[in-house]
Amino acid sequence: MAKRDFYEILGVPKNASDEDIKKSYRKMAMKHHPDRNQGDTAKVAEEKFKEAKEAYEMLSDPDKRAAYDQYGHAGVDPNMRGGPGGAEGFGGFAEAFGDIFGDVFGGRGQRQGSGRQVYRGGDLSYAMEVTLEEAAFGKEAQIRIPSWDNCNTCGGNGAKPGTKPITCTTCHGHGQVQMRQGFFAVQQTCPTCKGTGKIIPEPCTSCHGVGKIKNTKTLEVKIPSGIDDGMRIRSAGNGEPGTNGGPAGDLYIEIRVAKHEIFERDGDDLHCQVPISFATAALGGEIEVPTLDEAADNKLGKVGIDIPDGTQHGKTFRLRGKGIKGVRSSYPGDLYCHVALETPVKLTEHQRKLMKEFDESVRKGGAKHSPNEETWGDKLKKFFTA
């Protein structure tokens, strides 16, 4: 069966521009791609896909198109003049076919005008420890991070002084090669030049052919007030450099809040243990507790709390608005003060005598002085008599 005219297959006139030929091929390839045609139409679509692919492969190459225009199918018959091979025609067919795959399957790569793939640089992570006060009120800090500068020896091209990079002989400078499997043509990064399109015969001895030297730089970082342990701050463009002119990655600063001597943080709330004496718990009084809301230069503020008489160990006092205002909060949390009854130690003989007399006096008073002890005793009796 005689082959159809390539221009007829793509639906373009013989004087069509390269861009018109490419657009027509893209449209037909999308329409007849095997993955978009199933069932009864699959076989017909596959044949049309192959036919359009062959037509574009020939007409996208200037030499093949000229031979076809002059001699017809005989001018491009591989049995008569040698078929395409290696990376021949890469800038035409392979580029458009790669675009088709990107449209059908959602391609991720980015391409420069030269056809080389560009890659975004990797992200970096930096752990920063801050105090609870710094996390609560924010701070400005300086950190030292890795940076990559152009090599002064080679000027950034990676070649030994007096030499220069040459075009890759495998991909001819495109950074990618074409692999064929049946009627499919798949592009992949060139294994020789790793996608750069260049080969360096004599690498620079300073940067070993990379073109960049790893240094360090100082970065100003603003820690927002209310930040919490485990949160991250993103610094755009301060990660590793991209490949083939791709964008740099980002730097993520991970916050680690150091353990505080007094407070424990729970979200926007603060908790602290407040030791009080036996006499204060029994008689009541006023005590001062530390706060963060007036802290300056790492010095805590303070506020008074009225302790009612008969306060028991573990009682909690809640101070509203004395916590931390988180980065996403509209108002600060609370401060919870947990009473810790302090038992006297190292008593003198006189103090011990007074304590015993006091204890005997309390016991004579019965349950009105020790309601919890009376309740606990009743529970024990029920337990042992059950």
> Is pLDDT above 70 for 262?
yes
Same domain membership, residue 372 and residue 309? yes
Note whether 151 and 232 are same-domain residues.
Answer: yes
CA-CA distance, 63 to 75, in Å (whole number)?
10
Give a yes or no: residue 302 inside a domain. yes
Q: Which of 115, 89, 87, 88 is nearest to 196 (CA)?
A: 115
Q: Bigger pLDDT: 165 or 86? A: 165
Distance (Å, rounded) from C-alpha 249 to C-alpha 238?
A: 6
- The yes-or-no verdict on residue 89 having pLDDT over 60 is no
User: Domain boundary at 239, 257, 275, which?
Assistant: 257
Please check whether residue 85 lies inside any domain of the structure.
Answer: yes
pLDDT more than 90, % of the chain? 27
- What integer pLDDT is reported at residue 260 of this predicted model? 93
| Residues 83 and 140 grouped into a single domain | no
Give the model confidence (pLDDT) of 337-370 as tens digits: 999 998 888 999 999 999 898 888 888 876 666 6
Between 200 and 38, name the one with better pLDDT: 200
**Domain end: 61, 77, 108, which one?**
108
Q: Is residue 336's pLDDT more than 50?
A: yes
Same domain for 29 and 95, yes or no, is: yes
Residues 287 and 239 in one domain: no
Residues 209 and 101 grouped into a single domain: no
Q: What is the pLDDT of residue 334?
A: 94
Answer yes or no: do 253 and 282 share one domain.
no
329 domain-assigned: yes
Residue at 179 is within a domain: no
CATH number of the domain residue 85 falls in = 1.10.287.110
Q: What is the mean pLDDT of residues 232-247?
A: 84
Torsion sign over Cα 337, 338, 339, 344:
negative
- Considering the domain architecture, whether residues 21 and 98 belong to the same structural domain is answered as yes
* Residue, of 147 and 232, whose pLDDT is higher: 232
Span 255-275, average pLDDT: 94
pLDDT for residue 252:
94
Q: Are 192 and 170 in contact (CB under 8 A)?
A: yes
Same domain, 216 and 303: no
Q: How confident is the model at residue 106 (pLDDT cuts 50, 70, 90)?
A: very low
Give the residue from 108, 138, 154 where a domain finishes.
Answer: 108
Residue 240 shares a structural domain with residue 276: no
CB atoms within 10 A of CB 44: 11
Mean pLDDT for the stretch of residues 139-158: 86
pLDDT in tens, 197-212: 888 888 998 888 888 8
pLDDT at 26 over 90: no
Q: pTM surpassing 0.85?
A: no
The number of domains in the chain is 3
Most confident of the ranges 28-42, 192-206, 325-339: 325-339
- Supply the range of the domain harboring residue 154: 124-165+200-257
Lowest mean pLDDT among 57-61, 80-84, 320-324, 374-378: 80-84
Report pLDDT digits (tens) over 299-331: 678 889 999 998 888 899 999 999 999 998 899
pLDDT above 90 (res 271): yes
Same domain assignment for residues 293 and 233? no
Lowest-pLDDT range of 6-10, 78-82, 166-170, 284-288: 78-82
pLDDT of res. 131? 92
Query: Cα(21)–Cα(15) distance, rounded to whole angstroms?
Result: 10
Q: Which of the four pLDDT bands, split at 50, 70 and 90, describes residue 102?
A: very low
Pair (251, 271) in one structural domain: no
**Residue showing tokens 């007074």:** 354
Adjacent-strand bridge partners of 215: 147
194 domain residue, yes or no: no
| CA-to-CA separations, 220 to 34, 143, 145, 226, 339, in angstroms, rounded | 54, 7, 11, 19, 42
Specify the pLDDT at position 96.
46
pLDDT band at 240 (very low <50, low <70, confident <90, very high): confident
Is residue 92 one of the residues assigned to a domain?
yes
Pairing, β 264-266 against β 269-277: antiparallel
pLDDT at 299: 63
Whether residue 114 is contained in a domain is answered as: no
Q: CA 74 from chain center: how many Å?
A: 56
HEC assignment per residue over the chain: CCCCCHHHHHCCCCCCCHHHHHHHHHHHHHHHCHHHCCHHHHHHHHHHHHHHHHHHHHHCCHHHHHHHHHHHHHHHCHHHHCCCCCCCCHHHHHHHHHHHHHHHHCCCCEECCCCCEEECCCCEEEEEEECHHHHHHCEEEEEEEEEEEECCCCCCCCECCCCCCEECCCCCCCCEEEEEECCEEEEEECCCCCCCCEECCCECCCCCCCCEEEEEEEEEEEECCCCCCCCEEEECCCCCCCECCCCCCCEEEEEEECCCCCCEEECCEEEEEEEEEHHHHHHCEEEEEEEEEEEECCEEEEEEEEECCCCCCCCEEEECCCCCCCCCCCCCCCEEEEEEEECCCCCCHHHHHHHHHHHHHHHHHHHHCCHHHHHHHHHHHHHHHC
Q: Give CA torsion, residues 208, 213, 214, 219, to 10 deg.
A: -170
**108 or 149: which carries more pLDDT confidence?**
149
Q: Name 98's Cβ contacts closer than 8 Å, sequence gap at least 6.
A: 107, 111, 176, 187
Identify whether 68 is part of a domain.
yes
d(CA 153, CA 242): 21
> What is the domain-level CATH number for residue 283?
2.60.260.20
Q: What percent of the chain has pLDDT over 70?
A: 78
Task: Give the chain's mean pLDDT.
Answer: 80
Mean pLDDT of 220-237: 92
